[in-house]
Structure 1
């Protein structure tokens, strides 16, 4: 089951300025802001400004400029928020949920950057 892009999703509305966000950084192709329900001391969302539903959609259909700008914004906020390894910090977790099995809630590609503490195992072992 593929998601269709929904122009009424919350991230599209944030990009249009209809809903405020706690912006951390922005460039021509991406926006980074604080998660409203943080799961770690540092919990940011990075979203492309284009209409992409998931990581695979973005990686397949975004321009090289969009992909580079998104990735560089991720590095910039990791450094500025004190979690980037390049600056000698403790690290972070980057998570992108996709589709029903990935429990994606918003049909707009977004990357969670979480850090500021040891994050623990990603998934509990089952069976």
Structure 2
């Protein structure tokens, strides 16, 4: 998509603090972090939300989750615990309509979130 912010970041047309890159995913630091570790993991291929990613059914969702875990390991939060969040749709707080997983860690994660 030509107007998609995350497509532009994945294409390296817009700079981001890249944490990890694979053939199919890109992980970069959130510009408004909500925890000491707050990294977004996006597929390089555009899918609007988690439902669209699941419908793609080509292993890409697995790749996103594997990248999220690798980010948690790299940031040293995998042992203590971390959260992976997909916001799907405006009512859930999704503001960029390119599926992305938030990897959050480095502080106590309570439920409900906040």
TM-score if structure 2 supplies the norm length? Answer: 0.91
What are the Cα deviations for residues 63-96 of structure 1, in whole angstroms up to 9, with x where unaligned?
12x2332222112111111111xxxx21011111
Work out which of the two has the higher radius of gyration on C-alpha atoms and give 1 or 2.
Answer: 1
Once the two structures are TM-superposed, the CA of residue 113 in structure 1 deviates from its matched residue by 0.5
Question: Displacement, 1:123?
Answer: 4.6
Candidates 4, 8, 21, aligned match of 1:26: 21
Q: CA deviation at 1:119?
A: 2.1
**Structure 1 SS opposite 2:20:** strand
- Superposition CA RMSD, Å: 1.5
Residues 120 and 26 of structure 1, relative CA distance in 2, 3 Å threshold: same
- Given the alignment, which residue of 36, 56, 59 partners 1:61? 56
Q: For structure 1, which runs of at least 5 residues remain unmatched after alignment?
A: 1-5
Aligned-partner SS, 1:120: coil
Match of 1:99? Answer: 89
CA contact (8 A) 2:37 2:105 kept: yes
Structure 1 length normalisation: TM-score?
Answer: 0.82
What residue is the counterpart of 1:7 in the other structure? 2
Alpha carbons of structure 1 residues 27 and 123: separation in structure 2 relative to 1, 3 Å: closer
